[in-house]
Amino acid sequence: MTAYTATVTVRLKEGVLDPEAETTKKALQRLGFELESLRSADRFELDVDAESTDAAAQRADEMAERLLANPTIHDYDVEVEPRE
Amino acid sequence: MTAYTATVTVRLKEGVLDPEAETTKKALQRLGFELESLRSADRFELDVDAESTDAAAQRADEMAERLLANPTIHDYDVEVEPRE
């Protein structure tokens, strides 16, 4: 078994409204910052022990499907790195 | 002016309690997943137009300092990439 950290990034699908991001963008502009747009996402770093990178990625993928992301409104991606 | 996307990742400092992450971890374990620990972070993708990568990074840094992160409890990092 090797120790891995799987990073799952969960973002809203294109076209899904994100009023919190819109509010944050307007607040930044009110502070004088120039920016075109702002998107927010949730990032989960999961420490898992697994036989291989593929096994760790598969487990993280299942966790995203079952709990971390809502497939109706979210896209997600998974990255796996060995952990010291 | 070039178009950049600056990604600001905001995470809780070591030692700051994160009950939401703890709850998510326990929910995953209850579903039968094995994992050692789970950390959560917020990720902001900012589309900005700037003279250079450095200028875009500096502006994203200021936005993190002023609004996106709370320096008492958060660490953050900034990555900048050109945007098509």
Where does residue A71 rank: exposed (0-12), middle (13-18), buried (19+ CB within 10 A)?
Answer: exposed
Q: Does the beta-carbon distance from A43 to B42 stay under 8 Å?
A: yes
pLDDT (tens digit per residue) in A24-80: 999 999 999 999 999 999 999 999 999 999 999 999 999 999 999 999 999 999 999
| Identity of residue A23 | T
Task: Mark out chain A residues that contact chain B at CB-CB < 8 A.
Answer: 3, 9, 21, 24, 27-28, 31, 33-49, 59, 62-63, 66-68
Q: Does the beta-carbon distance from A27 to B67 stay under 8 Å?
A: yes
Q: Does residue B72 sit in helix, strand or coil?
A: coil
Between CA A76 and CA A13 the distance in angstroms is 9
Q: Does the beta-carbon distance from B43 to A40 stay under 8 Å?
A: yes
Between CA B38 and CA B21 the distance in angstroms is 6
Chain B positions touching A79 (Cβ under 8 A) are none
The CATH number for A56's domain is: 3.30.1280.10
Q: Does the beta-carbon distance from A48 to B34 stay under 8 Å?
A: yes
Q: Does the beta-carbon distance from A47 to B35 stay under 8 Å?
A: yes
Distances from the Cα of A72 to the Cα of A22, A63, A64, A69, angstroms? 21, 16, 13, 9
Q: Which of A35, A14, A42 is nearest to B62 (CA)?
A: A35
Between CA B38 and CA A11 the distance in angstroms is 18
Q: Chain A residue with minimal CA distance to B68?
A: A24
- Predicted ipTM? 0.89
Between CA A36 and CA A41 the distance in angstroms is 17
Q: Residue B44: give the domain boundaries.
A: 2-82
pLDDT (tens digit per residue) in A13-25: 999 999 999 999 9
Q: Which two tokens stand for residue B82?
A: 């050109």
Chain A positions touching B40 (Cβ under 8 A) are 42-45
Q: Does the pLDDT value for residue B56 go beyond 90?
A: yes
**Number of domains composing chain B:** 1
pLDDT (tens digit per residue) in B74-83: 999 999 999 9
